[in-house]
């Protein structure tokens, strides 16, 4: 586990971890992560060629004995307060992509919320917004 993550890496680790917590990283989730990194202003200046490398490093870190705890700690240390809601929103975007959120994903969202010191009402609003964006007719 790297001791230091850049903000971009931490945001990507957040999305990869969200995708991996249910032990299955789907193609839809990976595609969504790529789309978010390509299109969101928060990723301006990030070299898209590094996405696969960062994702692989995250996967290796998660595979360690205390991987989830260490990754969560690294995310919390790297994400500045002004981007904590953004980090949480990115995790929710990945979780909602397959339109069913598993128990492990809910637990990770709770852990992320606590680590980033986010208010429950704020996180509920971010979750509701994501559900609204991904509804079908």
pLDDT tens readout for residues 105-127: 899 999 999 999 999 999 999 99
Domains observed in the chain? 7-133 (1.10.3680)
Q: How much of the chain exceeds pLDDT 90, in percent?
A: 72
Torsion of the alpha carbons at 122, 32, 69 and 72, rounded to the nearest 10:
-50
Q: Is the pTM value of this prediction over 0.85? A: yes
Q: What is the pLDDT of residue 103?
A: 87
Q: Render pLDDT for 52-84 as a digit per residue (tens, 0 to 9).
A: 999 999 999 998 888 999 999 999 999 999 999
CA distances from 52 to 31, 32, 59, 127 (A): 12, 14, 10, 27
Q: What is the pLDDT of residue 1?
A: 56
């Amino acid at each position: 586990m790297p001791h230091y993550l850049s903000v971009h890496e931490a945001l990507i680790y957040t999305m990869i971890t969200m995708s991996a917590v249910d032990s299955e990283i789907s193609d839809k989730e990976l595609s969504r992560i790529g789309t978010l990194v390509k299109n969101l202003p928060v990723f301006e200046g990030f070299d898209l060629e590094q996405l696969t490398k960062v994702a692989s490093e995250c996967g290796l870190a998660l595979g360690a004995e205390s991987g989830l705890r260490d990754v969560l700690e690294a995310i919390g240390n790297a994400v500045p307060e002004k981007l904590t809601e953004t980090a949480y929103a990115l995790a929710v975007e990945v979780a909602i992509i397959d339109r069913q959120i598993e128990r492990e994903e809910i637990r990770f969202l709770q852990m992320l919320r606590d680590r980033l010191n986010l208010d429950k009402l704020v996180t509920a609003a971010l979750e509701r917004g994501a559900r609204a964006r991904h509804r079908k007719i």
